[in-house]
Chain A
Amino acid sequence: GAGVSQSPSNKVTEKGKDVELRCDPISGHTALYWYRQSLGQGLEFLIYFQGNSAPDKSGLPSDRFSAERTGGSVSTLTIQRTQQEDSAVYLCASSFQGASSDTQYFGPGTRLTVL
């Protein structure tokens, strides 16, 4: 079946603009995660959705970052008033139920460049 998909694959924006990144998880997966991979910082957790529960936002770096998940499927990560330090690859992952034993499957990522 189809894996996790993300769009766009690349996004170049100017400092101060808002951007939206999209993630389509594997069908039937109830858990969805956003991570960020930047030079010098490695791969870091941003936010986690599990079913209808309140999301775990503990990894969001500032209030300029927000995410939503509509209908328990597609998720959108929004970055407002982008800064150059937001440049990174944003990775989305999904797992079957978010259980401790579940494997997380990753999408190809969105490379964001803020000029």
Chain B
Amino acid sequence: KQEVTQIPAALSVPEGENLVLNCSFTDSAIYNLQWFRQDPGKGLTSLLLIQSSQREQTSGRLNASLDKSSGRSTLYIAASQPGDSATYLCAVKGSARQLTFGSGTQLTVLP
């Protein structure tokens, strides 16, 4: 059974810092990995999707990498802003169509 772990569970940084969120998964037989953002009381917003054949994806200040063989992904956020404060979730899609989620990293960016 696939298990997804996210470290750290919570992170607080001053504005302007670059930061890295980590995600690991136990079964490397995945189709893709997706990073989401969740704001309090809201649904999930997809940030980046990396297919199993890809190594990384970039969108603005966000860069996600995937090392499928080692079961790891990182989300890099450059020049963090208070508006980046949210919970970040990592999810993998395996042979079944549904996503398996990590428990998330709660990020606070202090002004």
Tell me the A residues contacting B by CB distance below 8 Å: 4, 31, 33, 35, 42-45, 48, 50, 56, 58-59, 91, 93, 98, 100-101, 103-109, 111
Contacts and interface: CB of A to CB of B under 8 A. Distances in A.
Interface of B: 31-32, 34, 36, 41-46, 49, 51, 89, 91, 93, 96-104
A100 B93 contact: yes
Contacts, number: 57
Contact of A109 (B32, B36, B43): B43
A111 B43 CA distance: 11
Nearest to A107: B43
Nearest to A100: B31
A108 B45 CA distance: 9
Contact of A105 (B41, B46, B93, B97): B46
Given A101-B31, A101-B51, A56 B98 contact: yes
A93 B46 CA distance: 11
28 contacts: A4-B43, A33-B97, A35-B98, A35-B99, A42-B103, A42-B104, A43-B89, A43-B101, A45-B98, A45-B100, A48-B97, A48-B98, A56-B97, A56-B98, A58-B96, A91-B43, A100-B32, A100-B93, A100-B97, A101-B51, A103-B46, A104-B99, A106-B36, A106-B46, A107-B43, A109-B42, A109-B43, A111-B41
